[in-house]
Amino acid sequence: MKKSATSLGDAKAAGRLLACLTAYDYPTARLLDDCDLDLILVGDSLGMVVLGYPDTTTVTMAEMLHHTRAVARGAKKTFVASDLPAGSCLTPALARENARLFRDAGADAVKIEGGLECLPMVEAILADGIPVIGHLGMLPQRVIEEGGYHIKGKSTTESDSLLRDAHALEQSGVCAIVLELVHPPLASTLTKELKCPTIGIGSGPDCDGQILVLHDVIGLFPWFRPKFAQPRADVAFEIQRAARAFASATKA
């Protein structure tokens, strides 16, 4: 049976950690569906690791929906969430309309990057019965304004505003909050203070779960490897090994 949004909160209540990965296509989603994951995210990271863009800022709704449909066809048991891409939730009405498109494409939830400023959009989507995952800390959709990927929450001003954002998101009813590149002591505090689960990426070990981009875990994007992601396979090498073996056998 398909897991629901409440299964994330139930895991935190039971003291069970959440393991989450991204997927962007049917075969990967189908493989991951049997791997005891708590969440498959169709992240807008697909812009970088699948489509070859320099960052996630230009990923479109059409691209996200195309990949969401493929993942939803493969993930029959695992909870699937999709990222609302940059510019897709500028007003509550637009956010609701786009969240509905994700639901119709097969996503069980949507994820929104941002804090207090996103509350009206989060509330509009939740009012429609679509679960929402928050995303705080480093917000890749704002990487250009921010001038790079930096740890968030080291200064008192930043940590106070992250605490305010996280509590406001929790009160609005999000089912989990992704903490990206949040200073680990602050991620730990947030995890203790919030009832809803925190899912960390580059935010230290004390979150209620961890999420990684699949390509970083399986070694499928050798051109960039974030420091916090431990590769557990070298699929890039295997692809080239098999392709070269085929090429040389064919040409011989």
Catalytically active residues are: 180
Q: Which residue is nearest to ligand KIV (CB)?
A: 43
Buried b (16+ CB within 10 A) or exposed e, 73-88: ebbeebbbbbbbbbeb
201 binds ligand KIV (CB under 6 A): yes
Q: Cα torsion for 18, 23, 29, 32, to the nearest 10°?
A: -40
Answer yes or no: are the C-beta atoms of 22 and 214 closer than 8 Å.
Answer: yes
Q: Which residues pair with 21 in a beta bridge?
A: 40, 212
175 binds ligand KIV (CB under 6 A): no
**Beta-carbon count within 10 A of 217 CB:** 16
- Tokens representing 31 are 């493989």
Question: Which segment (1-9, 25-33, 38-46, 60-68) binds ligand KIV by CB under 6 A?
Answer: 38-46
Rounded least distance, CB 49 to ligand KIV, Å? 8
Rounded least distance, CB 41 to ligand KIV, Å? 6
Rounded least distance, CB 152 to ligand KIV, Å? 14
Q: Which residues pair with 19 in a beta bridge?
A: 210
11 binds ligand KIV (CB under 6 A): no
207 binds ligand KIV (CB under 6 A): no
Rounded least distance, CB 192 to ligand KIV, Å? 21
22 binds ligand KIV (CB under 6 A): yes
Task: State the amino acid at position 210 in one-letter form.
Answer: Q
Buried b (16+ CB within 10 A) or exposed e, 5-32: beebbebbeeeeebbbbbbbbbebbbeb
3 state SS of 106? coil
Judged by CB under 6 A, the residue of 43, 85, 106, 134 near ligand KIV is: 43
Footprint on residues 68-127 left by ligand KIV (CB under 6 A): 83
Rounded least distance, CB 235 to ligand KIV, Å? 17
Q: Which is nearer to ligand KIV, 227 or 245 (CB)?
A: 227
64 binds ligand KIV (CB under 6 A): no
3 state SS of 133? strand
198 binds ligand KIV (CB under 6 A): no
44 binds ligand KIV (CB under 6 A): yes
Answer yes or no: are the C-beta atoms of 25 and 71 closer than 8 Å.
Answer: yes
β-pair type (109-113, 80-83) = parallel
Q: Which is nearer to ligand KIV, 226 or 245 (CB)?
A: 226
45 binds ligand KIV (CB under 6 A): yes
Please choose, from the candidates 42, 52, 112, the residue with its C-alpha nearest in 3D space to the C-alpha of residue 81. Answer: 42
Q: Footprint of ligand KIV on this chain (CB under 6 A)? A: 22, 41, 43-45, 83, 178, 180, 201, 211, 213
